[in-house]
Amino acid sequence: MARMARNEKNGPGLLFIVVTLIVVAVVGARFFGFMPGGGEEEPLPPQVRIHDPQPPEGDEEVDLTPRVLVFHSHASENYKPNDSHERGSFGDIVRVGEAFVAELASLGVSAIHDKSIHDQPRYSEAFINSEKKANELLAANPSIGIILDIHRDGLEDKPDDYTKARANGVDAAKILFVVGDKDNNHLEENIQFAQAMSDAMEKEYPGVTRGVRVFKSDYSGELHPNSIMVLVGDWRGNTMEEAVASARLLARVVATFVK
């Protein structure tokens, strides 16, 4: 009986030690990243960013008013060698958009870049989602006069060099300007703007533009008379570096329209 009493007395002390060891092991595992949730989570990029122009030399004032809106209805699009679409985050095409708005900023043009992923989880709702977001941004920024939905093409059975060009001494991706004619009250204005943009590209950088196409689809042209879709290169036919080079050339042309 005495021995049993001593065991009962020492029991809680042993339990305390075991629990303490378990707690220490769990904390240590989380600290060193051995358990789910260990380590720091990578912050998500902002969905909308305003790219302000670079300050000019001298006393010239900087116009910080947004003039251009850029978004990507298919923000998950990639270029080879990556998969055609990114899963769970935006793809290469958003990087192309970043290069475009950064070049605009260097030329003194402020732009809003929407990086929202509109084509996931339901790809079929991409244009519905992007149009809703674009309308919100336009309502908050009435100074915007040019709207570009930047994509890349997904061609099949085309020659390897079909969407390749050479401009300013660098390899570039050819650009196609697209207008949708479904439920579009600005159809004629969209076509005129797209053609003017294509003509300006051809004049400054011959061979880079693939011209203008009109499709029987709803591509958010009703957002604004100067709202068009821009296809920068092709998934199979171009690298992201070639697409970025073209985006910078496009920005130089767009800047002349703004100014």
94 and 19 in a single domain? The answer is no
**Residue 190, domain CATH:** 3.40.630.40
146 and 225 in a single domain? The answer is yes
108 and 11 in a single domain? The answer is no
Q: Residue 63's pLDDT is what?
A: 74
37 and 74 in a single domain? The answer is no
Over the chain (259 residues), the average pLDDT of each successive run of 10 is 40 51 44 31 52 59 87 97 93 98 97 97 96 97 98 94 95 98 96 98 98 96 97 97 98 96
27 and 122 in a single domain? The answer is no
Longest distance between any two alpha carbons in the chain, whole Å: 104
Residue span of the structural domain in which 5 resides: 1-41
Q: Residue 48's pLDDT is what?
A: 72
119 and 217 in a single domain? The answer is yes
128 and 234 in a single domain? The answer is yes
Q: Residue 64's pLDDT is what?
A: 86
Question: 77: which residues sit within 8 A by CB, 6+ positions away?
Answer: 84, 85, 86, 91, 92, 93, 151, 152, 235
157 and 242 in a single domain? The answer is yes
Q: Residue 59's pLDDT is what?
A: 52
150 and 28 in a single domain? The answer is no
What total number of domains does the chain contain?
Answer: 2
CB 131 within 8 A of CB 202: no
24 and 87 in a single domain? The answer is no
Residue 253 bridge partners (DSSP): none
Question: 197: which residues sit within 8 A by CB, 6+ positions away?
Answer: 177, 228, 253, 254, 257
State pTM to two decimals: 0.79
128 and 242 in a single domain? The answer is yes
Token pair listed for 73: 């209805």
149 and 196 in a single domain? The answer is yes
